[in-house]
Amino acid sequence: MKKIFSLTAASLGIAALALTGCSGTAASSSSNAGSPSSSASQLAETPSSGLSIVDAWVKSNGTKMTGAFGILKNNTDQNIVVMKASTPAAGMVELHETVMAADGSMKMQPKKGGFVIPAKGQLELKPGGNHIMLMEVGKAINPGDELSFELSLEGGKTMSFKAPAKAFSGANETYAG
């Protein structure tokens, strides 16, 4: 079953994409532990921004940190830069990348310059890769909860969407810095 959501910035609450917790672990459920997939595909788009997100989801957490994922799609002929993200669910939100440290371990760090989504291209936000990091999460995010996000784009445009929380036990990298 496919669900398609068409959203406008005015119709959504301000929020940010959440990514998997950098160092936290998530509770597991027998049906989807270790796998964020679900039978529902979601699309959220703010038409004026030219940006959409498919299969958005948030890692449920039992900690103060978590992450948001999905596939950002640029429907324009020019690059789009996501400068920041926000959500009412977290006191602090950062765009993160995962890089290899000198000791060979994978570390998460803020992505300088934001996420660039190439013209007519896409950028996958995934556990262990680029993601939206939610920190200072006020209360536990449980499987089935739905979070609202707002992405601020270069040039002053915004894109809003909602993402369901899912149990996922992987991607427990450490935070650099």
DSSP output for 1-46 = --------GGGS---------SS------TTTTT----S---EEEE
Q: How many CB atoms lie within 10 A of CB 122?
A: 14
**Are 15 and 89 within 8 A, CB to CB?**
yes
CATH class of 9-175: mainly beta
Decide: pTM greater than 0.75. no
Give the tokens for residue 56: 């958005």
Residues with pLDDT less than 70, the chain? 1-47, 62, 170-177
The residues, any chain, with a CB within 8 Å of residue 172's CB and separated by 6 or more, are 20, 21, 22, 23, 24, 25
DSSP output for 144-158 = T-EEEEEEEETTS-E
**Are 12 and 161 within 8 A, CB to CB?**
yes
Q: Where are the domains of the chain?
A: 9-175
What phi and psi values does residue 105 have, to the nearest 5 degrees? -80, 160
pLDDT tens digit sequence for 22-64: 433 333 333 343 444 443 344 554 557 899 999 999 999 867 8
Residue 18's pLDDT is what?
33
Residue 49's pLDDT is what?
83
Helix%, strand%, coil% for the chain, nearest 5: 5, 45, 50
- Sequence letter at residue 102: A
